[in-house]
Amino acid sequence: MDNSSTTLLDLEPCSQSFLDEVIDGLEQSPKSLPCKYFYDQRGSQLFDQICDLEEYYLTRTELQIMEDYADEMAQQIGLGVMLVEYGSGSSVKTRLLLDHLEQMAGYVPVDISRKHLQETCDRLAQSYPDLEVLPVCADFTAEFALPVPSQPATHSAVYFPGSTIGNFPPAEAEKLLAQIARLCGTGGGLLIGVDLQKDHQTLESAYDDAQGITAEFNLNLLRRMNREIEGDFKLEQFRHRARYNDQHGRVELFLESKIEQSISVSGRTFWLHQGESICTEHSHKYTVQGFAQIAANAGLTLRKEWTDDEQRFAVMHFVK
């Protein structure tokens, strides 16, 4: 069944907003840039390298949890589900779920990158010829309607791995969770990967590795602005910084100006002091209880959670 290339629903995410959001962030004090723009082609490659780093425990820990408990998770999710994946990247973890879910009505990968989405669907269609794959190219932070599978689903469940939810401040995370609850409807569920609070040393080295891959990943945002929105950033005049903010329970990434300098983006000029930082990412860390509370505020009830031996990462299942 060739169902991947013909049915891609394209909601044309984020065409003109990159420049607007960059200008907006650079006008703020302190300055910031939106982290979702890390993932151009080179950025995505660098992120894949980050996932393999010794210091970056997140990916391998979550994968191990999925390998150990995918059968239990599939049992919790139940029969006849339409599985909707947010930010469906490479789908390695998803396959572990697909291998255990029974009588699935369909699989709906949602991703902002059209090319990535298409490739993932083509590969999945080969491995799972009987699975109806209904890709949606969209920004999942915007409300969207689910495609209708040809075999009616008993219920829907969202799979949201990778601790991507950590990029949202708690109030926004709650809104996104409420939107997920609406999308799934009564009887629906959410299976989500969440990075947990831990000692600061472990957290900071996960975002400041010895090989400098994360530094490259961070600096690549400047390279992208130079190329796509007429920036004139000189990469060697910035340094990568990562620090854990205890008060907010999050790792913060910065690009710090080594010197006093002016930079411009599409003809707009901004001044940077020596040592001034542009914040490029927040990665929030939770306790299981803390995250369950946010989800509860969004109308989702914790059913079960799975963690690793060291309690570094959690995969949590909620129902509406």
Q: Work out whether 113 is an interface residue with ligand AVJ (CB under 6 A).
A: no
Cα→Cα distances 243→203, 204, 233, 238, 250, Å: 8, 6, 23, 16, 9
120: contact with ligand AVJ by CB under 6 A: no
Angle between helix 170-184 and 288-297 (nearest 10):
60
Based on the shown chain and the rule CB under 6 A, indicate whether residue 159 belongs to the binding site for ligand AVJ.
Answer: no
Q: With respect to ligand AVJ, which residue has the nearer C-beta, 4 or 164?
A: 164
Binding flag, residue 94, ligand AVJ (CB under 6 A): no
Q: With contacts defined by CB under 6 A, name the span among 64-72, 130-138, 164-172, 268-276 that binds ligand AVJ.
A: 164-172
Torsion of CA 147, 79, 126, 52, to 10 degrees: 100
61 binds ligand AVJ (CB under 6 A): no
Q: Is the peptide bond before 30 cis (omega within 30 degrees of 0)?
A: yes
- CA 183/CA 144 separation, integer angstroms: 8
Q: Between residues 162 and 188, which has the closer beta carbon with respect to ligand AVJ?
A: 162
Residue range at the interface with ligand AVJ (CB under 6 A); choices 16-24, 150-158, 159-167, 311-319: 159-167
Applying CB under 6 A, among 4, 94, 197, 283 the residue interacting with ligand AVJ is 283
How many residues are given for the chain? 320
Q: Which of 109, 135, 161, 162 binds ligand AVJ (CB under 6 A)?
A: 162
Instruction: Using the rule CB under 6 A, give the single segment among 19-27, 158-166, 171-179, 289-297 that binds ligand AVJ.
Output: 158-166
CB of residue 37 to ligand AVJ, shortest distance in Å? 12
Count the neighbouring beta carbons within 10 Å of the beta carbon of residue 99. 12
Neighbouring residues of 175: CB distance < 8 A, sequence distance ≥ 6: 298
Which span sits near ligand AVJ by CB under 6 A: 17-25, 78-86, 130-138, 157-165? Answer: 157-165
Nearer to ligand AVJ, 156 or 283 (CB): 283
Contact with ligand AVJ (CB under 6 A) among 214, 220, 257, 277: 214
User: DSSP alpha helices (H): ranges in 78-169?
Assistant: 92-98, 114-127
Of residues 32, 61, 167, 277, which one binds ligand AVJ by CB under 6 A?
A: 167
Candidate residues 156, 163, 197, 277; the one interacting with ligand AVJ per rule CB under 6 A: 163
Does residue 153 touch ligand AVJ according to CB under 6 A? no
Closest C-alpha among 281, 242, 290 to residue 43: 281
Element (H, E) at 108: strand 106-111
88 pairs with which residues across the strands?
none
Q: Strand order in 250-257's β-sheet?
A: 238-245, 250-257, 277-284
| Least CB distance to ligand AVJ at residue 292 (A) | 19
Residues 243-282 that bind ligand AVJ (CB under 6 A): 281
| 315 touches 69 (CB < 8 A) | yes
58 binds ligand AVJ (CB under 6 A): yes
Chain contacts with ligand AVJ (rule: CB under 6 A): 50, 58, 162-164, 166-167, 207, 214, 281, 283
